[in-house]
Structure 1
Amino acid sequence: MKYLIAHQSLLRLARIKYQVMALISDVDIIESSTLTDAYNLAEHAEPSCVVISQELAEQAEFELLASLFGIMNIICIVLTTGKQTPRAHPLFPGIRMVPELDLEDAIRRTARLSQPAQNQTHPAGKSPTVAENYDHNRLILLGASTGGIDALLMVTQCFDHRCPPVLIVQHTGGSFAASLIRLLNAASPANVIAAADNMALSPGHMYLAPDDQAHLVVAAGRQRHLALRKNAPISGHRPSVDALFNSAIPQAPKVSAALLTGMGKDGAAGLTKLRHAGAHTIGQDRQTSVVYGMPRVAMEMGGVGAQLPIQEIGPALLKSCKVKQRV
């Protein structure tokens, strides 16, 4: 059995390691003191269980790890301070939050439950799905923040090698951009790649900014190209959803855009402008949003043409991009 222990304190990490070794025979323990290393080790070493400190789990990028754990069937324990009773994580119900005093009981339970980690990525892999006739002059734009990784996994599993080009902005720390791209690429039949300045847009491809040093935008006057713009953050974000949406306004009649779960208002103004310019716009509904912030503001501004649960957004975007049959 393999355990990953992630803690910013090397002293407490050693203490947890000793507890695990005392309770489980024949255990292989790998260690990390940062969230970035924890993600890389979990992705490549495939532990049965991860024990991670509350301090690391409170970082925004932990959402990416939580999604990876779900896909790879990895048990996760968030080690908390204080004397609370063990409980489900408020944003990720499959993850348990356990006080340090109750760690030994949690380890015993996970030792009984743990199975060898198996990659459970999208079963379709990169194989084609049922043929659809899409207008490849169209663009699909997606924006998301808190809760957005699982939402993007749900939406993008509908896209295959025939879909129009897709540009995505997810609020994720720059050091995790490559990990997010790998995660989405493993889960979707389409090809998910890091964007490069002046890159041509191709059907069956999804593009994300490679880091947080530039905004991902549609190149001005060039419908089939993207651009990376090293401008200042917008609403505290770079890349920003508003930067992406605003850049596509000149091509709005050929755009289908969706604003997914997230805190704040990034993307709401851009989605509204896109709709007024003729784009097909969608907002995620309250019931399926982890945080009904960005899509709520867009709804209030009049930017949402259709409000849908997350499981319906991918098919709806593709439907809007189908070639219209002549009667």
Structure 2
Amino acid sequence: MNKIKVLVVDDSATIRNILTALLAQDSEIQVVGEAEDPYDAREKIKQLNPDVLTLDVEMPKMDGLTFLSNLMRLRPMPVVMLSTLTSRGADTTLTALETGAVDYITKPDVESLIAQQDSFKELLVSKVKQAAGIHLKSLKLSNTLAIKPDLSVLPFAGSGRRNHLIAIGASTGGTEAIKSILLRLPSTCPPVVITQHIPATFSARFASRLNACCQMAVQEARHGQKIYAGNVYIAPGDRHLKIEQKNGMLYCLLEDSEEVNRHKPSVEVMFDSLLPYAGNVQAVLLTGMGQDGAQAMLALKQQGARTLIQDKATSLVWGMPGKAFALNAQTEQYPLAEIAGKLLDFASLKRDEMQEALNVRQ
């Protein structure tokens, strides 16, 4: 089997050496070169033809974002960004994902990196392998959707029933997939709750950036917060998001408990909390690695929820939706560009019409 060829791009020789040493410990990976700046990287990409780039966000001569933009335009390839866990780092990383990076990994300082080598290595290797498995066609399609999303807001006459809820789960590639859906939802849309695998320092910035460009009001969910139509509630990056109904109202509950499926927040936890109200729920699984949310989606379907998955052709990583498909947990699957419209069409149905529509699909 051919090894995954990786080019490490970072202005710090110490970081380059550490990353190279960690990646070299995996028998399926070959670090074919190192580059100290984007100009060096450009020449080595031509010479070495790597499968994956690890790219530092902040570098001299040309910043990582400018280089990434040029790379995605001239020679699209899987790029894993390395960024810091700061507010500035969060914005830069989210911009990198918008520009075409497939994933990111938070980079500790050198001292912490040396102390946490084992856990960092496991994460780094998994991200690189996942990136290498992304087909160029999927990457190009994802970049096209990110660079030229359909900005038109869809018409919506209003929901045919009270407390109708849309719940979305996503991981790798999910920030841009979520954005492409929310951009099309009007301010009259039923409420949307979202669990995206994202660090705690990123989730508030992610919500703020979406709020600036969407008609719906997007926010990071707060514990005990009432849920209203026209609003989107995103799980904080270090808490599970659950939904509870009290006195005829829906509320967000945040839980600081153990990881589920190796994630906190976990889609599984959010979906499981919706089981008592499944008959009034649309659950969606978008692109992402792993299987988080798939088993709970099946349970929701069995309890009468409408369950949608993003199709393989438009998913950057068909892990989570693919696992749901293997379980037959979905009532339907659609290309990403169609999901917003399908959600609104179903939300407009009255309860009896909704059940009739579900019966046809199952």
TM norm. shorter chain > 0.5: yes
* 1:218 and 2:218 are equivalent in the alignment: no
Name whichever of 147-156 and 305-314 sits farther off.
Answer: 147-156
Structure 1 distance, partners of 2:272, 2:178, is: 21
AA matched with 1:216: L
Aligned residue number for residue 188 of structure 2: 162
Aligned residue number for residue 302 of structure 2: 276
SS class of match (1:192): strand
* 1:133 and 2:153 are equivalent in the alignment: no
AA matched with 1:132: A
Aligned residue number for residue 174 of structure 1: 200
Q: Does the 8 Å CA contact 1:191/1:204 hold for their aligned counterparts?
A: yes
Aligned residue number for residue 69 of structure 1: 99
SS class of match (1:270): helix
Shift of 1:34: 7.1
Structure 2 distance, partners of 1:325, 1:232, is: 36
Distance change (3 Å), C-alpha of 1:90 and 1:121: closer
SS class of match (2:276): helix
Q: Does the 8 Å CA contact 2:194/2:234 hold for their aligned counterparts?
A: yes
Distance change (3 Å), C-alpha of 1:174 and 1:122: farther
* 1:57 and 2:57 are equivalent in the alignment: no
Q: Does the 8 Å CA contact 1:285/1:307 hold for their aligned counterparts?
A: yes
Structure 2 distance, partners of 1:325, 1:304, is: 20
Aligned length: 259
* 1:235 and 2:261 are equivalent in the alignment: yes
Aligned residue number for residue 212 of structure 2: 186
* 1:267 and 2:293 are equivalent in the alignment: yes
* 1:312 and 2:338 are equivalent in the alignment: yes
SS class of match (2:292): coil
Shift of 1:185: 2.0
Gap runs ≥5 in structure 2: 1-8, 17-35, 41-54, 72-77, 85-89, 101-134, 354-362
Shift of 1:149: 1.6
Which of 290, 298, 316 is equivalent to 2:324? 298
SS class of match (1:193): strand
Provide, for residues 272-321 of structure 1, a one-character-per-residue CA deviation record: whole Å limited to 9, x for no partner: 11111111110111111111111111112121000111111111111111
Q: Does the 8 Å CA contact 2:268/2:293 hold for their aligned counterparts?
A: yes
Shift of 1:158: 1.9
Q: Does the 8 Å CA contact 1:122/1:187 hold for their aligned counterparts?
A: no
Structure 2 distance, partners of 1:272, 1:303, is: 4
Name whichever of 173-182 and 306-315 sits farther off.
Answer: 173-182
TM-score normalized by the length of structure 2 = 0.60
AA matched with 1:291: V
Q: Does the 8 Å CA contact 2:155/2:186 hold for their aligned counterparts?
A: no
Distance change (3 Å), C-alpha of 1:188 and 1:276: same
AA matched with 1:307: Q
Structure 1 distance, partners of 2:351, 2:166, is: 20
Distance change (3 Å), C-alpha of 1:151 and 1:131: closer
Structure 1 distance, partners of 2:172, 2:266, is: 14
Distance change (3 Å), C-alpha of 1:9 and 1:269: same
SS class of match (2:315): coil
Provide, for residues 91-132 of structure 1, a one-character-per-residue CA deviation record: whole Å limited to 9, x for no partner: 754999xxxxxxxxxxxxxxxxxxxxxx989856xxx86451
Q: Does the 8 Å CA contact 2:186/2:216 hold for their aligned counterparts?
A: yes
Q: Does the 8 Å CA contact 1:122/1:188 hold for their aligned counterparts?
A: no
Distance change (3 Å), C-alpha of 1:49 and 1:318: same
Q: Of Structure 1 and Structure 2, which has the larger fraction of its residues in helix?
A: 2
Q: Does the 8 Å CA contact 1:63/1:147 hold for their aligned counterparts?
A: no
Which of 199, 213, 221 is equivalent to 1:195? 221
AA matched with 2:97: S
Distance change (3 Å), C-alpha of 1:95 and 1:269: closer
Aligned residue number for residue 102 of structure 1: none
Q: Does the 8 Å CA contact 1:138/1:164 hold for their aligned counterparts?
A: yes
Structure 2 distance, partners of 1:95, 1:133, is: 30
TM-score normalized by the length of structure 1 = 0.66
Distance change (3 Å), C-alpha of 1:306 and 1:205: same
Structure 2 distance, partners of 1:90, 1:218, is: 37
Aligned residue number for residue 152 of structure 1: 178
Shift of 1:183: 2.8
Gap runs ≥5 in structure 1: 1-5, 20-32, 71-87, 97-118
Structure 1 distance, partners of 2:138, 2:236, is: 26
